[in-house]
Amino acid sequence: MAANDYYTSFNPNSRRDDAPLPPASTSPQRPHVDTHLVHNTISPVTSPFSDNTYPAKPQNDFHTDSSYHGASSQYSSAPDPFADHNAIPMQHQNMKYDPNTSPIEAEGQYQRGGRHGRRRSRKKGWFAGRVPWMVYILTAAQIAVFIGSIIKYAVLTGRPIATTPQFNPMIGPSTPLLINMGALYQPCMRNTEGVQNSSIPVGWPCPGAKTNATECTLSELCGFGGVPNPHPNGSIDDKPSPNQWWRFIVPIFLHSGLIHITFNMLVQVTLAREIEQSIGSLRFALVYFASGIFGFVLGGNYAGTGVASMGASGALFGIIALLLLELLYSWRDRPKPLRDLAMLVLTIVIAFVLGLLPGLDNFSHIGGFLMGLVIGICILHSPNALRERAGMDEPPYNPVTPGGRVPQFASVKAFARQPVGFFIGRKPWWWAWWLVRVGALVGALVGFIALLQNFYVHRSDCDWCKYLSCIPVNDWCEQGVLRFQETPSKRDLFAVDRARMLGMY
């Protein structure tokens, strides 16, 4: 994105007493900066989330900024009680001062003077830095939905946890109740083999069933206003067909039990919160929802037809993908990049291996991780090494407001006023990386459209894909497939509670 060249004058009324900002100099020499103060406030390592830029030519005026990314941690200095100090840091923490980098070029690192700046810099722990609104809102919504599912099941059955006909090991309601509340379930979303083309009526379990009896219709099981019920001797091409497409989105907020939601929320309020503070709420929301939705779309195509899938796992794997990109982007700036990479790869491999066990949705994990990588390439800035070579010519075109503060969305407004200035003077490596970004975005869109087309139109299957989400032992790979039990008058869906409940990570 474009960097901004800001010009302003020093505010003589600043109340900062320890180290006032030096006045802007009109001389060709670089103004003097208090190295002791900057040594304690500026990190020379540029995180891929902060998008600090390198001037294309010597910049004599140090009042420049490259406000490209949304989040800045300018007030975050207190330790975080939720932070994992053994985890891979979002930024290299070795505090060194680069005399060639001005305080304002290190976006958000030089704390603003005045009483307000000192008051905000004293924020501690969980409330330090930019407020991660998306994480707070998502977490509150997901907890509320889980509580609602417990209450609804308790109203229908008289107990909050499913114990009959099968016990829910995740400590939550039954599978039919979760399907009724919006879990990904293919028969509620499209015509399904063995359902629409059955020669006799098909019975389905009720959301509040305490036995294996199948006394409800498909419409009653799916809820949300219902779906067209299949009729005997129908066709796989019957119209109208079930089309609850929102089941690609709603399951992000739905969890199968207390254990499931606890693990997901722990990851969300720690790792995901830190990443939102680094990249901003808008970019975080884009990666989160794109990864979660794509994971469910991938699972809808290749998981078993009787699978009920739910959870924020795919979305969180997209956030983990951003962490991998951050590591690769800042490889040369890290003291021990191989160690960091080994730790992260080990974590990812363990999660994918666990996804092969019954009850875990590996398709959601894989799809979310891949989409997180692709969207991350599109919305994060270039790798540090490439920025030094190709991103050195960020054309200035946007002034700051009086007092040195950058207005919100200033870069976007400036680009709208002078779009041509963003592309003038760019080097070949800059254009090459933007071609990579465009290619990644096009690939993501093509893949998403192709999977949706396959889900609703072609319905082509992949015989070996199931082994990405199961181990072929004890009939694990046969779980989640719709099985029907013939009765004298109808076909009953056999033991839907034994169908694999996915998304439990």
The catalytic residue positions are: 313, 365
Strand bridging mode 308-309 / 202-203? unpaired
- Cα–Cα distance between 34 and 22 in angstroms, integer? 9
**Eight-class DSSP state of 454:** I
> How deeply is 35 buried, as exposed, middle or buried, from its count of CB atoms within 10 A (0-12, 13-18, 19+)?
exposed
Nearest to 1 by CA among 281, 396, 442, 319: 396
Nearest to 324 by CA among 363, 266, 376: 376
One-letter amino acid for residue 254 of the chain? L
Residue 485: strand pairing partners: 492
- Cα–Cα distance between 41 and 64 in angstroms, integer? 17
For CA atoms 443, 446, 449, 450, give the dihedral sign. Answer: negative
For CA atoms 209, 212, 215, 216, give the dihedral sign. Answer: positive
- Cα–Cα distance between 61 and 58 in angstroms, integer? 9
Measured CA angle at 87 (ends 83, 90), to 5 deg:
80
One-letter amino acid for residue 486 of the chain? E
**Local structure of 493: helix, strand or coil:** strand
Total length of the chain: 505
**Eight-class DSSP state of 405:** P
- 73: which 2 tokens? 């941690």
Nearest to 109 by CA among 83, 129, 137: 129
In sequence order, what DSSP letters do the residues of 159-189 get, joined into one string? -SS--SSS--TTSS--HHHHHHTT-B-GGGT
**Local structure of 308: helix, strand or coil:** strand
Measured CA angle at 105 (ends 104, 111), to 5 deg:
30
366-400 b/e (C-beta count within 10 Å ≥ 16 → b): bbbbbbbbbbbbbbbbbbbebbeebbbbbbbbbbb
In sequence order, what DSSP letters do the residues of 101-137 get, joined into one string? S-TTTSTTTS---SHHHHHHHT--GGGSSS--HHHHH
